[in-house]
Amino acid sequence: MESLVVTLASCAGVVLLLQYNYATVPVAAGCGVAFFVLGTIVHKIGRALIYPFYFSKLRNVPGPKDNQFLVGQAIRLLKAAGPNDLFLEWVRKWPNAPFIRYLSFGNSEVLLVNSLEAAREVLQVYAYSFVKPSFQEKLVGEMMGTGLLFGVGEPHRRLRRITAGPLSKPNVRKMLPIFQDKAKELSDMVDKAIAGEDKGVVEVESLFNRTAFKVISTALLGRDITNFRSKSSPLTFEQSYKGILDPPFLGKLIMFINPVIPLRWLPIEANLAFIRANTSMRTMLAELIQERVQQVRLQQSEDKVKGGQGDEKPEKKDFLTNMIEANLSEGKGVSEQVLVDTVIQCVSAGHETTAGTLTWITHALTKYPEIQKRLRQEIVSAQQKQPELSAAAIDSIPYLNNVVSESLRVYAPALSAPWETGEDVVIAGVAIPKGTTVTTIPAMIHHNPSIWGADVEVFNPDRWDAVTGAVANPFAIEAFINGPRTCPGRALALLEIKAIVVELLSHFHLEAVSDADVEYVHPALTLKPKGGLNIRMQRL
Ligand code: HEM
């Protein structure tokens, strides 16, 4: 809007110069360009140095005022010891404000969701008044397309309908054998790691990452395709994935600069490697999808011929097949491209977060050995009743549920969910103009003493036995975010995590290797311990 005003004012200046014969056409055109450049500079300076302090409707929202020149709190946030440190300092200062406002780069305003009412309105009531911030869309969209993460309005609702059934609790429970198989492979990896080390010290974060990657690709695509390579793809699934999302240093640098200054056109190896990996991943998934669509169509026509009296085979379909069936029955379904984006997004969103949760549970179990002992006892007593635990039996171990919930509260793996208002909205009494960044930081809700009480910082799984008052509000826990954009992989992640904890605690004793406080990787997208997590493991 402001750029349009500058452009119109520059054009008006040119017209006036010509109308009153103050300048020839080339001179007037030159003046027009000069007006535009000057106007843009004045506008940018005003926007950064005057607007947030004197005119913004949000200027009275509580928040830190000790801003640094032109960067507000951005550098302080980046330099803090951990990703949540400064946010939690602000929560302790303004525990009851619906929003906390801070200034970021260029003094751009950011509102942080800080109360249950604000969380409900941002994430539920006005969820579709928000869009993803354009920087994030350009950064991540290049790798993962639009799909669920960036879809808005009806296309997003349709894709949620298509993925809801395949990721529902009943379907996820059918995936338990995959989780258990991969958990056993994890135990084998631990055995190898212990054998290689004199003191049995194992770095578990990388093992959890590898396991979670195998679980999610197998659950989504029907087989462990870590080393799969389709007819036309030169790279394996894992190589393609890493080439896109975890490239070497130069690739990462280009990834972050490209949304601001386009660099992908440069014919250098980092870009060529990205393009190779991206093309390979997309071709591979497109081929798998085409193959699967044909199988589904064939199956459906065979069922029709048999008049629905086909063999009652036990259903054990993977996510992709279920998603394709749901898409075909949608009438106006989504394109093959959107299905490819969705699979990539689920692989990406579904393994680091799950591996992170497993890492933090392990950390808590080594920090509090009495919690580990009690959890093992409950698991063993469940196994005495049912040696091969079913999904329902795993879900019914109360202390296991409590430990997982408490870990997600204290160590929420997804650090933030940033959104931008797509229109003017009034939320929790605050008038928020279009284009404002509104971010939910799960840790801010989870560590707010006015919601969780004075012992908010204590890791106490028993608190989940008596969930009353503010804590009973669904918006008191935001590890998966609530509302129409809640994590669709929640049921899958929870059962996978519990199955892996059951396997590990049934076979290993876990012990901390140091009493030192854990340090965090920062900046990062998910909560991770710096240098991974080393623990001592011993076969029981
Ligand atoms: C403990 C594990 C997990 C945690 C903590 C977690 C957390 C989250 C959070 C906080 C969001 C909201 C992000 C935002 O709005 O910016 C989200 C969205 C999403 N998650 Fe998960 N997630 C987990 C596991 C999974 C799994 C296993 C899958 C795949 C099956 C998955 C797929 C997705 C997708 C596709 C979205 C985007 C949904 C949308 O915008 O409609 N996640 N997750």
DSSP for 186-205? HHHHHHHHHHHSTT-EEEHH
Q: Give the model confidence (pLDDT) of 170-203 as tens digits.
A: 999 999 999 999 999 999 999 999 987 667 999 9
* Between 445 and 46, the higher pLDDT residue: 445
Q: Look at residue 11 in the predicted model and tell me its pLDDT.
A: 75
Percent of the chain with pLDDT over 90: 66
Looking at the predicted structure, is the pLDDT value of residue 469 above 70? Answer: yes
Q: Give the model confidence (pLDDT) of 398-417 as tens digits.
A: 999 999 999 999 999 999 99
How far apart are the C-alpha atoms of 428 and 405, rounded to whole Å?
28
Q: Give the model confidence (pLDDT) of 312-356 as tens digits.
A: 454 567 899 999 999 888 777 888 899 999 999 999 899 999 999
* Between 260 and 306, the higher pLDDT residue: 260
Q: Look at residue 16 in the predicted model and tell me its pLDDT.
A: 80
Domains of the chain and any CATH numbers: 1-55 (no CATH), 71-144+415-478 (3.30.43.20), 148-222+339-414+484-539 (1.10.630.10), 227-317 (no CATH)
Give distance in angstroms: CA of 479 to centre of ligand 1.
Answer: 9
Protein residue with least CA distance to atom 16, ligand 1:
417
Q: Look at residue 314 in the predicted model and tell me its pLDDT.
A: 46
Question: 111 — phi, psi (to 5°)?
Answer: -105, 130
Give distance in angstroms: CA of 376 to centre of ligand 1.
Answer: 29
Protein residue with least CA distance to atom 9, ligand 1:
480
Q: Give the model confidence (pLDDT) of 158-174 as tens digits.
A: 999 999 999 999 999 99
Q: Confirm or reject: Cβ of 527 under 6 Å from ligand 1.
A: no
Looking at the predicted structure, is the pLDDT value of residue 520 above 50? Answer: yes
How far apart are the C-alpha atoms of 145 and 345, rounded to whole Å?
8
Looking at the predicted structure, is the pLDDT value of residue 40 above 80? Answer: no
What 3-state DSSP class applies to 46? helix
Q: Binding residue per annotation — 487?
A: yes
Q: Confirm or reject: Cβ of 508 under 6 Å from ligand 1.
A: no
* Between 282 and 232, the higher pLDDT residue: 282
| H or E segment to which residue 499 belongs | helix 490-507
Using a 10 angstrom Cβ sphere, with 0-12 exposed, 13-18 middle and 19 or more buried, the burial of residue 304 is exposed
Q: Which residue among 445, 487, 497 has the greatest number of ligand 1 atoms within 8 angstroms of its CB, and so is best to mutate?
A: 487
Looking at the predicted structure, is the pLDDT value of residue 9 above 90? Answer: no
Give distance in angstroms: CA of 418 to centre of ligand 1.
Answer: 13
Looking at the predicted structure, is the pLDDT value of residue 311 above 70? Answer: no
Protein residue with least CA distance to atom 8, ligand 1:
480
For 387-540, where are the E strands, in sequence order?
417-421, 425-427, 430-432, 437-440, 508-512, 534-539
The mean of the pLDDT values for the chain is 91
Q: Give the model confidence (pLDDT) of 98-151 as tens digits.
A: 999 999 999 999 999 999 999 999 999 999 999 999 888 888 888 888 889 998
Q: Confirm or reject: Cβ of 144 under 6 Å from ligand 1.
A: no
Percent of the chain with pLDDT over 70: 96
pTM of the complete model beyond 0.80: yes
Which residues have C-beta within 8 Å of that of residue 193, sequence separation ≥ 6? 202, 203, 207, 537
Residue at token pair 């600069």: 257
Protein residue with least CA distance to atom 17, ligand 1:
487
Q: Confirm or reject: Cβ of 130 under 6 Å from ligand 1.
A: no
For residue 442, is the peptide bond before it cis, meaning its omega torsion is within 30 degrees of 0?
A: no
Protein residue with least CA distance to atom 7, ligand 1:
480
Which residues have C-beta within 8 Å of that of residue 43, sequence separation ≥ 6? 2, 3, 6
